[in-house]
Amino acid sequence: MGFFDKIKKAFTGEEVETTEVTEKYEKGLEKTRKSFSERMNELFANFRTVDEDFFDELEEVLIGADVGFDTTMEITDALRQEVKLRNAKNQGAVQEAIIEKLVEIYEKGEPEKPEINLNPDGLTIMLFVGVNGVGKTTTIGKLAHQYQAEGKKVLLAAGDTFRAGAIDQLVVWGERVGVDVVHGVPGGDPAAVVYDAVKQAKSEHADILMVDTAGRLQNKVNLMNELEKMKRIIEREVPGAPHEVLLVLDATTGQNAMIQAKQFKETTDVTGLVLTKLDGTAKGGIVLAIRNELHIPVKLVGLGEGMDDLQEFDPSEYVYGLFSQLLLKNEEK
């Protein structure tokens, strides 16, 4: 189903196919949807005409969902024009215009679902970056489990040697999902660990090597230098690698996640984002803010604590999950 097809079907009252993925998104976005839908319903209940006061209130709703100031202004400015063009006056028409604009802002000319870049000709290497405590190690463990379940041979590398706890955590995850972990000693050279891991992955004909990295060093320059050193070794050993540099962010931290994303974008070439704990926040609009302001695709989202609740990000499922309650009300009218 196309990027916007599911939402259009819901608007026209057609039956929408409910898949396991749809259910995960609906459940995972429950807190955001409840908060968002309640405020949107209040907004439409209080306004009989789509005037400037309506747009002021809409801006507050979007900012309250952590869509971000710049993105909110872009959406509402575009909506003013769209509502005039369509002469949209009833609730359903205005809602449809709002949703279409949100989808367009996410798409940014890239309508395809963003997917993890896997090397079709051999070893895929992924670097995971992000501050401590965002769920980096858990993300690696869950993803390793999923790839292994698909029949792929996976290897992990404990590149965060600056925290003894980080090494232990990854080793525990490795044991839990039955995957080998290459690690050194606390305080050791992370680049040496990465070198050993790449050598082992190649000798064992592994399909995927996932590398954990330090979340914070003494300063940004040190962090950048360490990441660049790792990338040089990886590229030398496997031309074209790393195939992904995934920045892991905690969705519950809202605008702090945006600040972290900006900082990491300055220090390394981030190819995609992982938003963890999306199910734990009422402000899931941060997905739109990050995408719009940083132009980095969200590739994975955490929609629960279960091993299979880490999902490839599907923009249409996300938008549908965010608006399904409003769409349902629209169908009933």
Annotated binding site: which residue ranges? Answer: 130-137, 212-216, 276-279
Q: Can you say how many angstroms the Cα of residue 30 is from the centroid of all Cα atoms in its chain?
A: 17
Q: Nearest-CA neighbor of 314 among 80, 50, 23, 112?
A: 112
Listed in sequence order, the residues at least 6 apart from 133 whose beta carbon sits closer than 8 Å to its beta carbon are 215, 250
Q: Residue ranges for the binding site for GTP? A: 130-137, 212-216, 276-279
Q: How many CB atoms neighbour CB 168 within 10 A?
A: 14
Distance CA 43, CA 61 (A): 9
Q: From residue 284, give the alpha-carbon distance in Å to each of 26, 28, 101, 250, 251.
A: 12, 10, 17, 11, 7
* Coil, helix or strand at residue 154: strand
* Coil, helix or strand at residue 173: helix
- The H or E element containing residue 238 is none
Q: From residue 250, give the alpha-carbon distance in Å to each of 139, 140, 224, 285.
A: 11, 14, 21, 13
Q: Are 234 and 242 in contact (CB under 8 A)?
A: yes
Which residue is it, tokens 């660990």?
193
The tally of CA atoms less than 13 A away on the side-chain side of residue 209 is 30
Structure tokens at 98: 């709002």
